[in-house]
Structure 1
Amino acid sequence: MICVPSAFRLSATLTLLMSMSGLVTQAQPAKIPPADSGEQAVLPAIPPIKRVLPPEGIEVPTNVRERLVKELEAIGQRFVEIKDHELSADIFVFIKAVTYALENREFYDPKDFAKADALLKEANLRLDQLAAGKHPWTTATGTVVRGFHSGIDGFPQPYGAVIPKDHDLSKVAPLYVWLHGRGDKQTDLHFIYERMSKPGQIAPPGAIVVHAFGRQCVGYKHAGEVDVIEATMHAEKQYNTDPKRRVLIGFSMGGAGAWHVGAHFADHFRVVAPGAGFAETAQYVKLKPEDYPAWYEQKLWGHYDTPAYVRNLFNCDVFAYSGELDRQIQAARVMEAAYQSEGRELTHLIGPKTEHKYEPTVLKELLAKIDEAVKKPAEDPPKKVSLQTRTLRYARQHWLQLFRLEEHWQDTRVDATLDGSQFDVTTKNVAFLGIMLPKDIHDKDGKVQITIDGQNLVVERSSKGSDEICAIYKTDGKWAHEDLAKLYTRVQEKVKRIDSHGPIDDAYRNTFVVVTPSGKSKNARFQAWQEFELEHFRSRWRSLMRAELRVIKDTEVTDQIIKLANLSLWGDADSNSVIKQIAADLPIKRAGEDWVVGTEKYDAATHVPVMIYPNPLDKNNWPPKYVVLNSGLTFREAHDKTNSQQNPKLPDWAMIDLTQVPDASAPGKIVNAGFFDEKWELKPVSKK
C-alpha cells in the first residue's frame, strides 16, 4: 500500500475542519462570461446534474443545524491537537460522518438527528480518552468502529469490527470481511451508527468480522475495491488476525463485490463466499447486442466482469449462495458456466423457496463449509497457481507476477505448478513474467528448473538464503531469464507496466492530486466546460467516494509531489503551467487551430482531449505516476442507478465535442476514443 504523505493528510484534515466553520465554501457552477466582459459568450449556462447517490434528504431545522455546527466546531478545535496521532482516523470518521450529513443533506428522517448526536458523543469520548493517553476502543470486544487513512486521497474511511466476547487479542484468529448490500442512503452517518451496536448477519465463533464500508455504494469498484483491501490490512494489523485464514463474504451488492474483489485478489483470501449480486454487466442488465455501448466500453467490461478472472478463483475455496426464487441467482449461474468452461464445478448452495435473502438452514451450512475450509492447513507455498487477467491492475497471484502483457484487454493467463525445484508454466498474452522464488526452492546445486510454454530454462539462484524474483522475458516468441539489473531497466521503460497502463479511471486508484490552473483559457467555451467538469469531479468525489479531493494550483507542484502522486491536470497550456510544460511530450497535440490525433484533426475551438499518460516530468519514476488531462471519474450519475454500470466508460484517451454540454451520461459528445498501445503510442485513428 502507498504511504500517504503527511502534508496531504494535514491538508485534507484542515480543509474539512475549515468547511465546518464556514471558512471554505463550495465552488459555484461554471458561468459563461457576459458579452461586455471582453470575452465572447458562446454558451448558455451548463445545467446542473442531479445527484443520484446518495439521494438528497430532508431539510435540517435551523435549531438542529446550529447546534450540530456548534458541536462540530468545538470538536474540530480539539481534533486539531491530535490530528497527527496514529489513531486520529478512529475519531475523524465520526466528525466526517456528521459533517457530510449536514453539508450533503444526508439526513432522511428526523430520527437521524439522534444518530449525529451519538456519533459526536463517541468522538468526544475518544478525544477525552486519547488526551488521557488511553485508547480503550482498540482493545474493546463487541462492536467497534475503526478508521484508516486511505492511500488514495488520504481521507479517513470507516469500517466496523465485531470482536467476540472474551477474545484474547494475543491469539491469532480468522478474519471474515463482510461486504454489505446496496444502500443508497447508507452514508457514513448511517453505516457508522449501525456498526456501533449491530454485529450483523454473521458472527462465526472465534473469528473477527470486519464490515467494510467500501465508499458506500460504488459496488466495491474503483476506490471502493481498494478500500476493502486497505480495511482488511488495517484490521489485520490491529487485531492480530491470520493472513492465511481470511474470508471474503457478502450479499447482494456485497455478493457482487465478493465476486470481483475475490477474483482480482484470490490469493488474499482462503475462502470467497458471494451471495446473490451480479458477476458481469451485459447479461445482468439484459442488454441486447444492438444496444451495446461503444466498442471501448465493451472492452472495459473486462475490468470487473468476473468470468474474465475465473481461473484466479481456483486459488481459493469458493462457495456461492443464492435464493431459489431470487432473480440475482443469475450471478451464480453465470459463474457456474464460467467454471464449466474451464472444466471445473462451482459449489453453489441454494436456499429453497427463498427470495433475496439467506435461508437460515442453508446459511448454517454455508458457514460450516467456510469454517471447515479455514481450519485446513494452508499449502505454503501453493503447488499450483493460476493467474487470469485483462489488465496489469490485477497482475499477481501468489508467486506469479505479471510485468507486461502483449496487449491489454485481451484474455491473459498463466498456469503454473511447482514440484520440488521444478516449475512448469504455460502462458497466454504474456510478454514479461516474474516468479517469486521462496528461499528454500532450489536443487542441490542452487538451481531452479523452469519449463515455460514448452521451453526449458535453468536458473541459478543468486541467493539461497532469501526469497527472490526470477524475471523471464519473451523476445520473438522465445523466453529468457534476466538478471535483476536488467529487470530494473525494463520496469523503467516507457511501456504499459504495473501502475502505468490506463484507462483514465486507473489514476484514481492510487495517490493522486488535482492540479488546477492559475490562469484562464483563451477559449471561453473550454473555460466554462473545464470549470463545470472540475466542480463536478469535486462534488462527485465527495458525495460518491466519500472524501475530499486534494487540490493544489499548478504553481504549487513540486518534485516531491511528482514522485508521490498521479497528477489530475485541469485547464490548457494557456491556463495551466504544468500542462504547458508537458504538452510537447503528449501524443495528442495542439497544432494551430486544431487538435491532432494521429492523422485526424479536430477544431480546437469546440473540442478538447481527455487522456491518461505516464508523467513526462519524471520518466524514470518507480513506481510510475500518471498525468490525466481534464477528466475525473468517467462513469457518471446515469450509471449510479445500478452498481453493475459503475464501470470505466472511457479508455486511455477521448476527444470531446464541447457543443454538446455535459450531462449525467457523458462530459460532452464523445467523437473519438481509444487505447494507447503497449508502448503508450497512438494506435491507428480514424474518425468515427
Structure 2
Amino acid sequence: IPPLSSRKVAFGFDGSGVTEKGPHPTELSLIQKGKMLDAGRISVEAVPPGASYSQTFVSRIDGSLQYYAVTPQSSTNTASSALFLSVHGAGVEASGQARAYKAKDWGNLVAATNRRPRGFNWEDWGRLDALEVLAIAKNQFKPNPQNIYLTGHSMGGHGTWFLGATYPDKWAAIAPCAGYPTLKEYGSADGVIPDTSSNPLEQMLLRSGNQSDVLKLTANYKPLGVYVFHGDADRTVPVTYARQMRKLLGQSQPDMSYYEYPGGSHWFGDHSVDWKPLFDFFKWHQISADSAVNTIDFTTANPGISSAYRWASIEQQTQPLLYSRIQLTRQRTSITGTTSNVSLLKLALNEFGAKTPVMITLDGTPALTYTTASAQDTVFLRRESGQWVQAKQPDAWQKGPHRNGTFKDAFNNRMVFVYGTKGTKDENDWNIQKARYDAETWLYRGNGAVDIIADTEFSLTSYADRGVVLFGNATNNAAWQSLLADCPIQVERNRIRAGSQQWQGDDLGTYFVWPIKGSKTASVAVIGGTGLKGMKAASANQYFAGASGFPDFMIFGLDMVRDGSKGVRMAGFYTNNWQLAPEHYVVNGQMSGSN
C-alpha cells in the first residue's frame, strides 16, 4: 500500500458461533509482529434462514472482495429450480435490489453489484461483474440450465437490454423495467456519448464503442422472450424509451409482452420490479437445448466481449469492431448461411455424430465438405480471397475471444500497476502519481483494489497471467523491455514510433494495448508519453467511464486537451496477428503513410 493512500483488504472470520438474528458488534484488531497497531468496531448483521442476504467472493477482475445479494427460494423443493439475475439501477445497492423481491417458490433471485451503485452502467467491468455473479450463482444453486432469466430496473433496465442482446444464449427470457436501451441516447453521469462523425479518425474512435449500441444488436433478441415493463408517468426514464423498443421490435420480435403501468412513476413501490405478470411470463419460457436450435442469427461488435451463439462462434473479424453477423441454418447433413465481417468462424458439429460428411455452404461460395472425426468435433473456417476454406485452430497469440484487444482489455486478470523509476525526477513523480490516481479512481468507481509496484519489482514470472498497466515509456520504465520489446509501437523520451509513422517532441502521449508473451489471456496497457507534457496529456481521459470506447492504440499531443480529436495523431487496431496495417488505422489528415 503506497504511503498516504488507502486500500480495501479482504480478511475472513469465523461466524459459526452466531445463533441470533440482528446486528452483532464485532471488534477488530490490527496486529503486526505481536503489536496492536489499531483497533475498531464494526457491526455484522445475521439474518434468519429464508431472508435476503449478501455473500462475498473474490473477483477475478482484480482480486478484490465483492458481494452479491440473494433472495432465496421459499420452497424447500429445489429440484429443477430457476435462477433470476437482477441488475439494479443507478445509486441502488445490490442488497436493496434483492430485498425488493418477495421470495419465489420456484427459484432463487441473485443481484450483482455493477461494482458500485453507479459503477459502469452494466457495461465494461459492470458487465464482467454480472457474468462473474451469474457463474457463481449457477455453481451455488445448481438451477435447471433451461430456466435462467434476466431482469433489472432503470440503469438495470439498460443492463437488461444490453446483457440480453450481448449474451442471448444465456437467458430464457429478459424483462427490462423502466429501462433505456442505449447510453448513446440517454447519456450517463459521464455525459452524452457521441454517435456519429464524418471525420475518419473520429469514426475510428467511435467504432471502439460499437459493442454498447444495443439498437444495432436487436436481432439477437429473437430467440428470447422479452417482457417490457414501464410506468407511463415516468419522468426519470421517460416511457418513450419503452415505446421506442416496442416499435423497433414490433416487426421482428416473435415473443414479446409489453405493459405500461397506469400512473406509474419511475419507482412506484416494490412491484416496479416484483411484478407478478413478469414472473409468470418467465415461467412460460425455457432455454432450448442446442440440439433443438437449428437456426442462428447473431451479431457482435467485439468477439472479445461476445463471440458465440450456441454452436457457432465468430472467432476473428475482417474489420476490427465493426459489426459482424452470422445467419446460419443447420440441417441433417449440412450447414448453410451468410456472414458479414467474419474472418474466422468456428462451428461445433456435435449433432452430426462421428465420421459424418457435413456440407458447409457460406455466402454463396462453393461448398466444402468436412467429415467429423468424433461426436464432439469442431471445425474452423477462414475466409481467404472471397472463399471459405478449412483452417487450423489459431494459436493463443492471435486475436480471438480469449483476447481481442482494445486498450481497456488489460484492466482485468488481477491487473497490476507498474510505474517507471528510471526517468527524471519529474517523470518518475508523474509515473507513480498517475498510478496512484488511477488506483484511487478504480477504488472509487469500481470498488476495487490494485497492486501498485515499481518497475524494478516486476517480473513476468512473479506476475504470470496478470494484466499489467504500465506507466511511463521505454526510457523511464525498466519493465518495458520484458513486456513490449516486440511491440510495433515504441515510446521513448522525445519520440514515438508506430510502424512507419514517427513523431518527435516531448508533448506526445499514448494509450495502447499489447498481448503479454507467455500468457494466453493477459495484456499490458501503456499509459505514458514522450516527456512531461505528453504524460500530462495522458492524464486527460477517463477510461474508467462505463461504455467509453478506446481502440487498440491512440497517439495524441498535448493539444488534444484544447483541440479535441484534431490533437490525435493516430488511432486504430492491430490485425488478428497483432500487426500494424494501414487499412486498420487512421493518421490524422490521412488514412496511412509516413509523417
Cα–Cα, structure 1 residues 243 and 555, in superposed 2: closer, same or farther, change >3 Å?
A: farther
- CA contact 1:421–1:442 (8 Å) conserved in 2: no
What is residue 115 of structure 2 aligned with on the other side? Answer: 215
What is residue 300 of structure 1 aligned with on the other side? Answer: 208
Give me the whole-angstrom Cα distance separating, in 1, the residues matched to 2:90 and 2:402. 29
1:202 is displaced (CA, Å) by 5.3
What is residue 532 of structure 2 aligned with on the other side? Answer: none
Give me the whole-angstrom Cα distance separating, in 2, the residues matched to 1:585 and 1:331. 48
Counterpart residue identity of residue 260, structure 1: F
1:552 is displaced (CA, Å) by 3.4
Counterpart residue identity of residue 298, structure 1: L
1:407 is displaced (CA, Å) by 0.6
**Quick one: which of 481, 490, 504 aligns to 2:407?**
504
Cα–Cα, structure 1 residues 390 and 317, in superposed 2: closer, same or farther, change >3 Å?
A: same
Give me the whole-angstrom Cα distance separating, in 2, the residues matched to 1:379 and 1:156. 35
Which runs of no fewer than 5 residues in structure 1 stay unpaired? 1-14, 16-23, 29-71, 83-93, 100-115, 126-136
What is residue 398 of structure 1 aligned with on the other side? Answer: 310
- CA contact 1:339–1:345 (8 Å) conserved in 2: no
Give me the whole-angstrom Cα distance separating, in 1, the residues matched to 2:539 and 2:203. 16
- Secondary structure of the residue aligned to 2:282 is helix
Cα–Cα, structure 1 residues 314 and 510, in superposed 2: closer, same or farther, change >3 Å?
A: farther
What is residue 262 of structure 1 aligned with on the other side? Answer: 164
**Quick one: which of 348, 352, 372 aligns to 1:436?**
348
Cα–Cα, structure 1 residues 334 and 508, in superposed 2: closer, same or farther, change >3 Å?
A: farther
- CA contact 1:491–1:497 (8 Å) conserved in 2: no
- CA contact 1:404–1:432 (8 Å) conserved in 2: yes
Counterpart residue identity of residue 264, structure 2: T
- CA contact 2:228–2:242 (8 Å) conserved in 1: yes
Q: Does 2:431 align with 1:521?
A: no
**Quick one: which of 438, 442, 462 aligns to 1:537?**
438
1:349 is displaced (CA, Å) by 2.4
What is residue 368 of structure 1 aligned with on the other side? Answer: 280
**Quick one: which of 171, 191, 206 aligns to 2:106?**
206
What is residue 132 of structure 1 aligned with on the other side? Answer: none
**Quick one: which of 362, 378, 389 aligns to 1:452?**
362
Q: How does 1:299-318 map to 2 (within 5 A)?
A: 299-318=207-226
What is residue 146 of structure 1 aligned with on the other side? Answer: 55
1:257 is displaced (CA, Å) by 0.6
Give me the whole-angstrom Cα distance separating, in 1, the residues matched to 2:58 and 2:491. 40
Cα–Cα, structure 1 residues 656 and 384, in superposed 2: closer, same or farther, change >3 Å?
A: same
Counterpart residue identity of residue 276, structure 1: A
Give me the whole-angstrom Cα distance separating, in 2, the residues matched to 1:241 and 1:635. 46
Cα–Cα, structure 1 residues 358 and 382, in superposed 2: closer, same or farther, change >3 Å?
A: farther
Q: Does 2:453 align with 1:552?
A: yes
Give me the whole-angstrom Cα distance separating, in 2, the residues matched to 1:251 and 1:533. 36
Cα–Cα, structure 1 residues 214 and 408, in superposed 2: closer, same or farther, change >3 Å?
A: same
Which runs of no fewer than 5 residues in structure 2 stay unpaired? 16-23, 30-40, 529-534, 590-595
Give me the whole-angstrom Cα distance separating, in 2, the residues matched to 1:649 and 1:369. 35
- CA contact 1:635–1:649 (8 Å) conserved in 2: no
**Quick one: which of 383, 386, 397 aligns to 1:477?**
386
1:506 is displaced (CA, Å) by 1.9
1:510-569 CA distance string (max 9 Å, x none): 44222233x242373x44443332122100111111110133333343444564122211
Q: How does 1:151-170 map to 2 (within 5 A)?
A: 151-169=60-78
1:408 is displaced (CA, Å) by 1.5
1:213 is displaced (CA, Å) by 1.1
- Secondary structure of the residue aligned to 1:435 is strand
**What TM-score, normalized by structure 1, do the two folds share?**
0.70
What is residue 614 of structure 1 aligned with on the other side? Answer: 515
1:658 is displaced (CA, Å) by 4.5
After superposing the two structures, state which structure 1 stretch, 224-233 or 292-301, moved more: 292-301
What is residue 35 of structure 2 aligned with on the other side? Answer: none
- CA contact 2:474–2:492 (8 Å) conserved in 1: no
Give me the whole-angstrom Cα distance separating, in 2, the residues matched to 1:538 and 1:222. 17
- CA contact 1:600–1:685 (8 Å) conserved in 2: no
**What TM-score, normalized by structure 2, do the two folds share?**
0.80
1:404 is displaced (CA, Å) by 0.7
1:196-238 CA distance string (max 9 Å, x none): xx63235433211001112122211111111111111111111
Give me the whole-angstrom Cα distance separating, in 1, the residues matched to 2:349 and 2:289. 18
What is residue 676 of structure 1 aligned with on the other side? Answer: 573
What is residue 338 of structure 2 aligned with on the other side? Answer: 426
**Quick one: which of 89, 98, 121 aligns to 1:181?**
89
Give me the whole-angstrom Cα distance separating, in 2, the residues matched to 1:313 and 1:26. 49
What is residue 80 of structure 2 aligned with on the other side? Answer: 172
- CA contact 2:231–2:266 (8 Å) conserved in 1: yes
- Secondary structure of the residue aligned to 1:176 is strand
Give me the whole-angstrom Cα distance separating, in 2, the residues matched to 1:292 and 1:223. 30
1:589 is displaced (CA, Å) by 2.6
Give me the whole-angstrom Cα distance separating, in 2, the residues matched to 1:199 and 1:677. 46
- Secondary structure of the residue aligned to 1:580 is helix
What is residue 134 of structure 2 aligned with on the other side? Answer: 232
- CA contact 2:196–2:203 (8 Å) conserved in 1: no
- Secondary structure of the residue aligned to 1:233 is helix
Counterpart residue identity of residue 512, structure 2: M
1:156-209 CA distance string (max 9 Å, x none): 21011111334244x2300001111110xx5xxx655x47xx632354332110
1:484-520 CA distance string (max 9 Å, x none): xx21xx23454x3223332211222444222233x24
**Quick one: which of 281, 296, 300 aligns to 1:389?**
300
- Secondary structure of the residue aligned to 2:221 is helix
- Secondary structure of the residue aligned to 2:99 is coil
